[in-house]
Chains A and B, each alone.
Chain A
Amino acid sequence: MITPPKPRPEASAWSRPFWNAAREHQLLLQRCDDCRQWIFYPRIACPHCGSDALGWQQASGRGTIYSYTVVMNNAPSAFAADVPYVVAVIRLEEGVQMLSNIVDCDPATLGCDQPVEVVFRRLDDEYTLPCFRPLAAIGAPR
């Protein structure tokens, strides 16, 4: 079977700054100038108060694993060669959640609520994905 290319994110005009920053290994999040809420994923207007006044701020890049799974079999064609790989929902310190991959880890050691930090994985010239890895000192004071 021919492995199809990895699916690309298909950025919108208002999410472009997120992907441009990811390419430079920075995790940027939108933040509302009016209600001060952090926003992920990028929106055309604030989903909390409807304001158009959205800015970008660098995020901490730290969070915890809300949930995760290790893909072992029956992956989509483009990911079949990657198994086992880890898909996770990350709760960032800023209070937003995002789907990502957990890399640089032994999947057997992962658990819910474990602290993680962002790390970047290049997809192609245009897109780099923000992924996460376990914080080195697991069990250290949070």
Chain B
Amino acid sequence: MHRNRGRSAIVGIGEVPTGRFPERTAIEGALQAARLAIADAGVRREEIDYVMPTGTLFSFQFGNELATARLVEELGLPGVGSNCQVFSGGSSSTNALRIAAALIETGRARCILFVHTDKLGTGVSAQGGIDLFSTAGISAEWEVPFGQHYSTVAALATTRFKHETGCTDEELSAVCVSNRKWAELNPHAFFRTPLTIAEVMNSKMLSTPLRAKQSNMLFDGSGAFLVTSAERARDLVARPVYVLGEGGAVTHFVYSQEPDLTRFGWAAAGRQAFAEAGIGPADVDVAEIYDSYPIYQLIAFEELGLCGRGEAGGLFLRGDTWPGGRFPCTTDGGMLSKGHIGAGGSVSLMIEAARQLMGKAGARQVPGARFAVETATGGTYFDAQVTVLGTEVP
């Protein structure tokens, strides 16, 4: 058995709704989420000895305040030995959990509070958001001068994936419909009205073949989770969410340097995470797959081994990934329907994975969920990060 399997656990989650909240400041969202997580776990504030904020994109000034312990002071946490930011763009949640788990496993920390907050919906203008995301994580020397931005990044993977696998625009649109089905059941999601494949396929063309409704939108949002040792977790809560396995692969910085735009590093990262966890893809009850654009959800779903190459589109189209389906996927609605909140896109998915395993997902609860896989990726999909969580240790 892998030495780290199940030695740490998520014991508390907190989240505020994703959307446009001009009156809710970024710090207010962060504090609300953190306090909800602390209350959810039932830990005393004195117990928290490590605060791990992640990066905030809307304001450099505010991001620095989190990096320099604003949360510790605002929350009044007297026992904190370290406040240290962990940031890798969209994969921050998974990297943070990995570091948190390692600190717990080695005894360097006992109770870690991870917090994300951002204000990309009302803290920046619409064009400001597009411009921010035309440079954030994109090579200033080798790609920005050619007009590369996140729509083209996603479109380039989509074009090649369609070319190699025969994936159709209808299948890509079905990913958006699947995520929307879940968002309809999620009070924290921004887009909650039913969506059809025709609506997606008739929406404005951004960068061929990517259309507007296949693209995420930026919103305000905040989330938090608490990590502690498996032993302490069993004292605190009825259903600890054990960290069973983790895997990662960093495959490029400059997007053109990615060796395979139809696969990325998911297969290797998934093998590593499942091996460490002691389960296989067939054991997964709920898959919280990073979307941001439909192509990435399809690729990761396939490369993790949840289905074969070129088969995911059909599963999304036929409803297998929808509520009640055989392969519940991205059950909070994802960035496509819940909303993109910067580094918090994958924080939402991590919280949702834990929420499903805790049995707290309400109307969208996957009955009897025991094992969940969560994926995350940052920048121009420079990495593939995979976490396997479970309510029991195999």
Q: Which residues of A contact B (CB under 8 A)?
A: 1, 6-12, 15, 41, 66-79, 82, 85, 87-90, 97-101, 107, 111-113, 123, 127, 129
Contacts and interface: CB of A to CB of B under 8 A. Distances in A.
A8 B130 CA distance: 18
A112 B208 contact: no
Contacts of B145: 6-9, 123, 127, 129
A74 B146 contact: no
Nearest to B162: A112
Nearest to A112: B163
A10 B127 contact: no
B211 to A, nearest CB: 9
Contact of B152 (A10, A71, A98, A111): A71
Q: Please tell me the size bucket of the interface on B.
A: 35 or more
Contact of A99 (B135, B142, B204): B142
B160 interface: yes
B177 to A, nearest CB: 22
What are the nearest 3 A-B pairs in CB distance?
A69-B155, A76-B134, A67-B160
Contact of B159 (A10, A12, A67): A67
A114 to B, nearest CB: 11
Contacts of B163: 67, 111-113
Interface of B: 127, 130-131, 134-135, 139-149, 151-152, 155-160, 163, 204-210, 212, 215, 254-257, 261
Contact of B256 (A75, A85, A97, A113): A97
Given A89-B156, A89-B261, A129-B146, A69 B131 contact: no
B208 A99 contact: no
Contact of B146 (A72, A73, A99): A99
Contact of B149 (A67, A76, A100, A127): A76
Contact of A112 (B143, B157, B160): B160
Given A89-B256, A97-B257, A70 B208 contact: yes
Nearest to B252: A97
Contacts of A99: 142-143, 146, 148, 254-256
Contact of A7 (B127, B144, B208, B212): B144
Select the residue from B130, B141, B257 with max chain A CB neighbours within 10 A.
B141
Contacts of B131: 76-77
A89 B131 CA distance: 21
A41 B142 contact: yes
A98 B151 contact: no
A30 B207 CA distance: 32
Nearest to B128: A77
Contacts of B157: 67
Nearest to A101: B146
Given A41-B141, A76-B131, A69 B152 contact: yes
Contacts of B149: 75-76
Contact of A69 (B141, B159, B256): B159
Given A7-B140, A73-B205, A73-B206, A68 B159 contact: yes
12 contacts: A1-B127, A41-B139, A67-B160, A69-B152, A71-B147, A71-B152, A74-B215, A76-B130, A76-B147, A87-B152, A87-B207, A112-B163
A10 B141 contact: yes
